Amino acid sequence: MERQISGTVYFASDFHLGVPDRESSIQREEAIVRWLDQISADANHLFLLGDIFDFWFEYRDVVPKGYFTFFSKLLEIKKKGIKIYFFTGNHDMWVGRYLVDEIGMEVFRSQQVFVINGKRCVIGHGDGLDPHDRGYLLIKRIFAFRPNILLYGALPPRWAFGIARFCSHSSRKKTQQQEFHRFDEDIMVKYIREYLRHEKADFFIYGHRHLPLQIPVESATYFNTGDWLSHNSYLRISPDSFQLFQGN
């Protein structure tokens, strides 16, 4: 079901907080907090489009340590009346109730349609759009299968997080090695073209690729929000413009 919102809206993704080491992650977190301070002057809505954490898993009474400055800033801007939407990515798909209960975010586990200032926008993390990538789709279903989550949660946290960090490193390395070579061969472009055969949309807004992109596709425009590992990039939508920024 479509959601209608208006005003000034910001999108960002792929912060990958937690890697490659504590010092670098803290520096990135501080830069993100400065950006959140900056946008809070005019933002009405904030979309976080997945892989905000390089790994996140919630036990019943335990959550990953760290990120206090980031969470505090999110809570602060939420109290200012800025609505925050969190889309799970392939690195933080195991987000539970913590962000909802402690910060008041709205969490989505699949792409959604929002009508923003009168424009129909398809929004999501952007992984799993290739129907032919059966291996990845199978792995994603296995990871999302609740009994498997419960079994993983039975592992001691040190073991569980060690396994996850190894898998996250491999996944992140593969994603970062993807380059935008040919427009017609890009998976997201193919998906958008197929989508537009059946439904209308003005904008498609994704993360996952780690590349800030603004590309016309048929009658629509595809935006990729890039990342905060290399580009410090984000998308800003106001009632009269769509702007992709880099190097904040």
CATH classification of the domain holding 144: 3.60.21.10
pLDDT tens digits for range 210-247? 999 999 999 999 999 999 999 999 999 999 999 999 98
Spatial CA neighbour of 203 closest among 187, 186, 224: 224
The domain containing residue 71 runs over which residues?
3-245
> What is the DSSP-derived secondary structure letter of residue 117?
T
Mean residue pLDDT of the chain comes to 85
Predicted pLDDT of residue 186? 82
- CA–CA distance, 216 with 84 (Å, rounded to integer): 27
- Radius of gyration of the chain measured on its C-alpha atoms: 17
| Domains contained in the chain, number | 1
Going across the sheet that includes 9-12, the strands are 106-108, 83-87, 45-48, 9-12, 234-238, 241-245
Is the pLDDT score of 23 beyond 60? yes
- CA–CA distance, 25 with 5 (Å, rounded to integer): 33
Predicted pLDDT of residue 137? 46
| Cis bond upstream, residue 212 (ω within 30) | no
Predicted pLDDT of residue 9? 98
- CA–CA distance, 218 with 200 (Å, rounded to integer): 11
- Of the listed ranges 1-5, 43-47, 163-167, the least confidently predicted one is 163-167
Is the pLDDT score of 142 beyond 80? no
Q: Output the CA torsion sign for 45, 229, 140, 201.
A: positive
pLDDT tens digits for range 176-220? 445 555 666 688 999 999 999 999 999 999 999 999 999 999 999
Which is more confident, 104 or 60? 104
